[in-house]
Structure 1
Amino acid sequence: MDERVRLRLDVAYDGTGFSGWAAQPERRTVAGVLVEALDLLLGAGVAAGLTVAGRTDAGVHATGQVCHVDLPGEVWRAHDGRLLRRLARLLPGDVRVRAMGVVPDSFDARFSATFRRYEYRVTDAPWGAEPLRRHEILAWPRALDVDRLAAASAGLVGEHDFAAYCRRKENATTLREVTRLDWRREADGVLVATVQADAFCQAMVRSLVGAMLVAGDGRRPVEWPAALLTRRERSSEVTVAPAHGLTLVAVGYPNDPAEYARRAEATRRLRVPAGS
């Protein structure tokens, strides 16, 4: 039997027209579209084991998503150097594979990752979002203060139980380490939150943003988002920010490929419930 080759794919997409990443019956998803294109190009089921770094929700975008697939070595050799351009011709305009390359079998797009970084864009301009950017920027109806946003975010950095900000899954931990959480106002007036952590639970980033925005516009004290970390269940007071303002911009991996397997093993022990 021919050896298999593992490919890393770097993927970008406009999430507006997708029901999220994960394949779902009768729904258009990023994984579904990508698998369909690979099947048309290589043959049904030839590209196997599609695994993604982070399953984005419906409407969430990505410029730095990462996934991997396995191909028979002979198929890769037959298409090497041409597969990227051929995929570009088959894929719809709202999803692109920007790069691909062979990685060790020990590389796991999900479990080998050391961090995920998201950006959330919001405008408080009185006229709302610019028409050409309305699918990536949330229009906020109240003025936002960058200093208040910064103060609200400060207490959320570090390792905490983010149960108040997560949609809980049975037997899954809500303990996460946020390594970066900051805000900036760009030259065009758009506010950008950058959030980085080892991993995120479902709806966590958008929940954090939702809590910080009401502190940023003065309706809640700046201490309120961090005070919720004492909760051990999801807070009904937190409004999840709309999906379209959120973009996955980067996924990090160990610099040394020899560390892929070690990182994956450590992550599985931490994130996967026993018996799963």
Structure 2
Amino acid sequence: MSLVRLRMDLAYDGGGFHGWARQPGLRTVQGCIEHALSVITGVHRSKDGIAHRRVVWEPRLVVAGRTDTGVHASHQVAHLDIPAAVLQACRGHMGVDGVLALERRLRHLLPADIVLLGLSMAPTGFDARFSALERTYLYRVSQGGQPGDPRMRGYVLDLEGSLDLQAMNEAVAVCIGLHDFGSFARPNPGGTTIRKVLAAHWDLVPNVNLFETAPGQSAVGYLPPFMESGLTVFRIVADAFAHNMVRSLVAACIQVGQGRRSVQWFADKVAHPLREGSTGPIDARGLTLEHVAYPPDDQLAERAQAIRARRTL
């Protein structure tokens, strides 16, 4: 059976899903997409109009990062290996190639909280998970006791009181580089919690208008602000993330920002990777996977091979 690999770019609202990974009896992102693929590629109608399933291939997606229950993605990446004949059969009566036909059919079948951003032939050596260079997550917080915007209630954590961003940034600066994040991640039997963090910082989003007036012109009417104006946002970039790692780092940072823990306590957690109750994950609603970066096409296979190796400090 000749297989071709497709790259799938996605976005989804994680509020209605039990995470990315397929789980029996639960609604997951992977489960919904694979079900749609099965319907498209594995069902035909006989002359009497009755639908029959002909199992020739079971779709299985490989994803760049398995998001947890309630976590969102504005740009997730996955790959799919599909028989060439099955892909071409997706064309039906459409006068387009198989990839575009499958893309159109998927967009028609996927639920409203999953958006297919694009479907394309993957370059040689591409692996959505192992070829990735880095992943960027954002965690959005509304602090200071200000009433939150109800339109953002599923994507922002509301906190009473103010946060000490200077202390939080002093703490999270310790994360930069290669560390064992065992204090901030669920144990991984047979695997590792060693990760390389490239950037991590807390910032207060300034109040910026959605529209700007041209130079020399006076504003006419009300200029609405961006919906994220005034929010406190944590941005972290790493080559990969361990399970619950970002949400646990956020929870620990907020403890520091609220004065309940010290910067030294945070540093000790990084230096001595031991999972315990004070570094559990925070509410998932504020977390979004924003971006996955890949190397040039001629370096994809090399990157995938290197990242599969078990890392050490």
TM-score normalised according to structure 1 size: 0.91
1:60 to 71, 82, 95: 71
Comparing 141-150 and 31-40, the one that deviates more: 141-150
What residue in structure 2 maps to residue 274 of structure 1? Answer: none
Structure 2 residues without counterparts, runs of 5 or longer: 43-54, 92-97, 208-228
Quick one: distance in 2 between partners of 1:270 and 1:261? 17
Matching of residue 192 in structure 1 with residue 233 in structure 2:
yes
Change (3 A) 1:9 1:45: farther
CA contact (8 A) 2:176 2:198 kept: yes
CA root-mean-square deviation: 1.7
TM-aligned CA deviation for residue 49 of structure 1? 3.4
Matching of residue 258 in structure 1 with residue 292 in structure 2:
no
What residue in structure 1 maps to residue 142 of structure 2? Answer: 123
The aligned runs of 1:1-276 (5 Å cut-off) are 1=1, 3-43=2-42, 46=57, 48-77=59-88, 78=91, 79-186=98-205, 187=207, 188-255=229-296, 257-270=297-310
Quick one: distance in 2 between partners of 1:45 and 1:192? 46
Q: Deviations over 1:168-214 (max 9, x none)?
A: 12122121111010111112211111111111111110010011111
Change (3 A) 1:45 1:214: farther
Quick one: distance in 1 between partners of 2:137 and 2:273? 24
Per the alignment, in what secondary structure is the counterpart of residue 97 of structure 1?
Answer: strand
TM-aligned CA deviation for residue 21 of structure 1? 0.5
Name the count of aligned residue pairs: 269
Change (3 A) 1:45 1:236: farther
Q: Deviations over 1:80-109 (max 9, x none)?
A: 323323212211110111111101352111
Q: Percent identity?
A: 42
TM-aligned CA deviation for residue 37 of structure 1? 0.9
CA contact (8 A) 2:191 2:310 kept: no
Quick one: distance in 1 between partners of 2:11 and 2:56? 23
Change (3 A) 1:227 1:91: same
Per the alignment, in what secondary structure is the counterpart of residue 155 of structure 1?
Answer: helix
Per the alignment, in what secondary structure is the counterpart of residue 7 of structure 1?
Answer: strand
Comparing 152-161 and 46-55, the one that deviates more: 46-55
TM-score normalised according to structure 2 size: 0.81
Quick one: distance in 2 between partners of 1:45 and 1:13? 29
Per the alignment, in what secondary structure is the counterpart of residue 267 of structure 1?
Answer: helix
Change (3 A) 1:126 1:45: farther
Quick one: distance in 1 between partners of 2:59 and 2:125? 15
Per the alignment, in what secondary structure is the counterpart of residue 195 of structure 1?
Answer: strand
**Which structure's CA Rg is the greater one?**
2
Q: Deviations over 1:130-153 (max 9, x none)?
A: 111110000112211322222221
Q: Deviations over 1:111-139 (max 9, x none)?
A: 11111111100111414421111100001
Per the alignment, in what secondary structure is the counterpart of residue 179 of structure 1?
Answer: strand
